[in-house]
Amino acid sequence: MLILRIADLCEGHSEQRRQVSAEDLDLMEYQEFQAPIEVSLQMEKNGDQIIIAIEAHTTVSFICDRCIEPFTSPLHDRLNILYTSDVKLKNEQDEAICYVSPTTQEIDLADPLRQTLILALPAKRLCKPDCKGLCARCGANLNHEPCNCPTDQVDPRWEQLKDFLQ
């Protein structure tokens, strides 16, 4: 839950900072989210319209795709949502517009923020761009030290030499 009480918002511009947990945003099934999530909110209230710019910063925990070592990485993303009770602006297709009834007292920002953070997770997770990964034979982490396994990749020039020697 990341609740904003509409009555607490003044007309015009206002700001708020919040710190929420993965639990608050219902992100518990995503093991990447373990650190607190810093949220900054910029609100612009104009009658029955509230534009909210949400910015979130956190540190996510990953397992490297190549060397399977855990590592952390900063993650930050932002989104803008227009909350309005103007029926003319009601548009179910547009996620950036959220219709609220005129009697609505609270807005829960957890749902849109959760979606945004999940989409911000990278598909490829590397502890560093040039991670050498694990040796396919002995499983050694090649970032720490080279292992003594023979390499399978044979240089084509050596292939020719092999033929020549036979």
The yes or no reply on residue 131 touching Zn ion (CB under 5 A) is yes
Is residue 23 within 8 A of residue 82, CB to CB? The reply is: no
130/47 Cα distance (integer angstroms) = 53
Where in 37-66 is the site for Zn ion (CB under 5 A)?
A: 64, 66
Nearer to Zn ion, 119 or 136 (CB): 136
The yes or no reply on residue 134 touching Zn ion (CB under 5 A) is no
DSSP helix/strand/coil, 103: coil
- Binding residue (CB under 5 A) for Zn ion from 9, 51, 100, 135: 135
Is residue 52 within 8 A of residue 4, CB to CB? The reply is: yes
- Binding residue (CB under 5 A) for Zn ion from 67, 75, 81, 134: 67
| 61, amino acid identity | S
Is residue 106 within 8 A of residue 45, CB to CB? The reply is: no
The yes or no reply on residue 3 touching Zn ion (CB under 5 A) is no
Nearer to Zn ion, 30 or 71 (CB): 71
- Binding residue (CB under 5 A) for Zn ion from 3, 63, 149, 161: 149
50/105 Cα distance (integer angstroms) = 13
Shortest separation between residue 165's beta carbon and Zn ion, angstroms = 26
Is residue 69 within 8 A of residue 47, CB to CB? The reply is: no
Which residues sit at the interface with Zn ion, rule CB under 5 A? 64, 66-67, 127, 131, 135, 137-138, 140, 147, 149
